[in-house]
Amino acid sequence: MNPPPPGWPRISSALVYERAGEIIPWLCAAFGFAVRVRVDAGDGLVEHAELEFGPDDLVMVADARAKYPFRKAPTQLDGANTQNLFVYVDDVEAHFAQAKAAGAVIQREPATTDYGEDYWSDRAYQCVDPGGHVWWFAQRLRNPPGR
């Protein structure tokens, strides 16, 4: 398999918002993303943005636009999500406090999931951003044996 383009992960997600230009700074402040690229459409909308999370990961963000009728934000779908984003962080408690202080809607407080000694254990929380996307942030507590 050929490597991905330089600076790109092998897989990334694209998120659609009704007001991406307002959400991007919020995602940076609340979740710790950094803007790598932002292409404005010239009409107050964001055509394309790339938000980095550490050196190897990113999500793409754009505004819902009439020229792309298949792209809808959760706020345009009565809050429905067709994906949830799951992100590992170094300190889930600190990340939770930062997201909550920024106004993330907390759906599940940090809790530990432990499937037993043959499997993994994570501590995670679930929240919703102002654009309606559901996020999970987790910290690995124990890896499965042999990993």
Q: Residue-wise pLDDT tens for the chain (147 aa)?
A: 888 888 888 889 999 999 999 999 999 999 999 999 999 988 889 999 999 998 889 999 999 987 888 889 999 999 999 889 999 999 999 999 999 999 999 999 999 999 999 999 999 999 999 999 999 999 999 999 887
CATH of domain 11-66: 3.30.720.120
The answer to whether residues 132 and 28 touch, using CB atoms and an 8 Å cutoff, is no
Helix (H, G, I), strand (E, B) or coil at 28: helix
pTM, to two decimals: 0.91
Helix, strand, coil fractions of the chain, as percent rounded to 5 = 15, 40, 45
Domain 81-147, what architecture? 2-Layer Sandwich (3.30)
Whether 11-66 and 81-147 share one fold: the answer is yes
Domain ranges of the chain: 11-66, 81-147
